[in-house]
């Protein structure tokens, strides 16, 4: 293992398998991959990855996931800003300029993601043909049946309700789309 002191930064540079790794003097981890995993886990409040943290927070549907990812990208712009300011105050104007440019790129990507989300919402936002819609529909029907069972209304009322409900729901997709279009026109 080759070692030398980087006087400008105050860090010792340790070469592991010919790959230089800057670490504070004396803080050399035995397993750098494990150390990195620990730092990521610490950063994500105990979750081993960003996706696991998002799931742990209960954001596992696509819209919540998108919002969480956009928030993460925006948070990273603050990290870049901090690095930019440290570089500028250290007199490293070239580094500060490079970081500033990278930060602008990240902000632009976040803006595009937000714009795409807004466009999706403008175009309806809900896919009535998606498998998720079927799951939602079945969930509420099972809850309706459970309510009838708890009320003890018997099979006749239960059957009558579901036959009638089936009739009034024959064009539900078209009616639901119209409702969303009305809502969109009211919001404009």
Tens digits of residue pLDDT in 154-164: 889 989 999 99
Q: Kindly list the distances between the CA atom of residue 26 and the CA atoms of 3, 9, 95, 127, 134, in Å, as whole numbers in the listed order.
A: 11, 15, 27, 57, 59
Angle among Cα 127, 131, 135 to the nearest 5 degrees reads 110
Asked if residues 59 and 71 have their Cβ atoms less than 8 Å apart, the reply is: no
Percent of the chain with pLDDT over 70: 78
Helices (H) and strands (E) in the chain, counts: 7, 3
Residue with the bigger pLDDT between 130 and 178: it is 178
Q: What is the pTM of this model?
A: 0.49
Mean per-residue pLDDT, 5-24:
50
Rounded Cα–Cα distance for residues 170 and 108 (Å): 45
What order do you get walking across the sheet with 11-16 strand by strand? Answer: 2-6, 11-16, 19-23
DSSP 37: H
* Lookup: tokens for 96: 């500060």
Which of the four pLDDT bands, split at 50, 70 and 90, describes residue 139? Answer: very high
């Amino acid at each position: 293992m080759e070692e030398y002191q980087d006087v400008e930064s105050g860090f010792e540079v340790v070469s592991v398998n010919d790959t230089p790794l800057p670490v504070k003097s004396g803080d050399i981890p035995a397993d750098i991959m494990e150390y990195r995993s620990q730092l990521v886990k610490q950063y994500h409040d105990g979750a081993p990855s960003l996706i696991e943290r998002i799931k742990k927070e209960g954001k596992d549907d696509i819209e919540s996931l998108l919002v969480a990812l956009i928030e993460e990208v925006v948070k990273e712009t603050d990290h870049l800003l901090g690095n930019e300011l440290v570089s500028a105050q250290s007199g490293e104007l070239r580094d500060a300029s490079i970081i500033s440019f990278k930060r602008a790129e990240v902000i632009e990507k976040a803006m595009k993601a937000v714009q795409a989300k807004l466009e999706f919402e403008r175009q309806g936002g809900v896919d009535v043909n998606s498998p998720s819609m079927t799951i939602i529909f079945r969930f509420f029907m099972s809850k309706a049946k459970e309510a009838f069972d708890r009320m003890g209304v018997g099979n006749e009322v239960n059957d009558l309700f579901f036959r009638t409900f089936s009739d009034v729901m024959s064009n539900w997709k078209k009616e639901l789309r119209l409702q969303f279009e009305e809502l969109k026109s009211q919001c404009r």
